[in-house]
Amino acid sequence: MDARMSHGVFRGLVIAFLLLCAGLLGYLVWSNYTERYIVTEEEDGSAITRLISARMSGTSQLKVAELSGTVQANAEDVRGFGLLKSNQIVKMPYSVGYYVDLSRIGPDDLEWVEDSRTLIVNAPDISVEKANVDESRRSLVRTDGLIVTRQAAEQLSQRTSAGAQNKVAREAQSPQRMAQARELGKSVVARTMRLPLETLGYGDARVVVTYPIERTAQARDAVDVSRRPEDVLRDRQKAR
């Protein structure tokens, strides 16, 4: 009897837990839908500009470079069996950030070469953020067409926006731009890693930053990696 009761209590707890999870999931889905698609109004029914939500979160991403400039996008819309044609050309500024995730650099990614007093930092590759196209600062908006309906205008706006985003994203991730970002990233990461070296009395040490695409077997064999930074710190503390 006690076993049956215990089994019944266990089933009840499991069912309650599943119902709680289902309720929480439903709340999160509804909350997300409300935040994104439901118009927030005042008591009198009027809608005003306001912050719907705000979240503050920490990050270990170190910004090492930024690509910015002006992008031009054009789009075409055809309606009315081909009789109503319209097009739009837009120019607006953009920016794209390049980052290195410092949280992915652990003790095994730091190598110390005593003879040359060199710290080798095996950093993760550069990550590229989503292109930020600032449509609020458009410098040119030219729309042509005999009759441009409201639906056509909305489609043109969406297509020029999407076209600008795609164009900037392709440029930001091109081999040339990635090479430039990696080179700039080496300088920024090296400056960051040099701070603890100066604290330890190794201000004259050299910092070499590498990325995964550079860490080939041939390249690693060319460097004599003998000691890790924590070993140097341990020996230095013993010598005091």
Q: Output the DSSP codes for 145-206.
A: ES---HHHHHHHHHHHHHHHHHHHHHHHTSHHHHHHHHHHHHHHHHHHHHHHHHHTT-TT-E
Residue 229 near residue 112, CB atoms below 8 Å: yes
Reported as a single tens digit per residue, the pLDDT across 57-87 is 556 788 999 999 999 999 998 887 878 889 9
Which is nearest to 237 in space by CA: 212, 200, 194?
A: 200
Reported as a single tens digit per residue, the pLDDT across 137-160 is 988 888 888 888 888 889 889 999
Between strands 118-122 and 206-210, the pairing is parallel
Residues near 132 by Cβ (< 8 Å), separated by ≥ 6?
94, 95, 96, 97
Reported as a single tens digit per residue, the pLDDT across 85-101 is 899 999 999 999 999 99
State the Cα torsion 175-181-184-189 to the nearest 10°: -120
Between residues 52 and 62, which one has the greater pLDDT? 62
Supply the pTM of this predicted model: 0.69
Between strands 118-122 and 127-128, the pairing is unpaired
State the Cα torsion 210-212-213-219 to the nearest 10°: 60
Give the residue carrying structure tokens 């289902």.
22
| Torsion sign (Cα): 192, 197, 199, 201 | negative
pLDDT at 11: 62
User: Which region among 51-60, 110-119, 219-228 has the lowest average model confidence (pLDDT)?
Assistant: 219-228
Between strands 84-101 and 127-128, the pairing is antiparallel
Neighbouring C-beta atoms of residue 202, cutoff 10 Å:
19
Would the pLDDT of 230 be above 80?
A: no
CB-based burial, 205-215: b 16+ in 10 Å, e otherwise: bebbbbbeeee
Reported as a single tens digit per residue, the pLDDT across 163-219 is 999 999 999 999 999 999 999 999 999 998 888 888 888 888 889 999 998 877 545
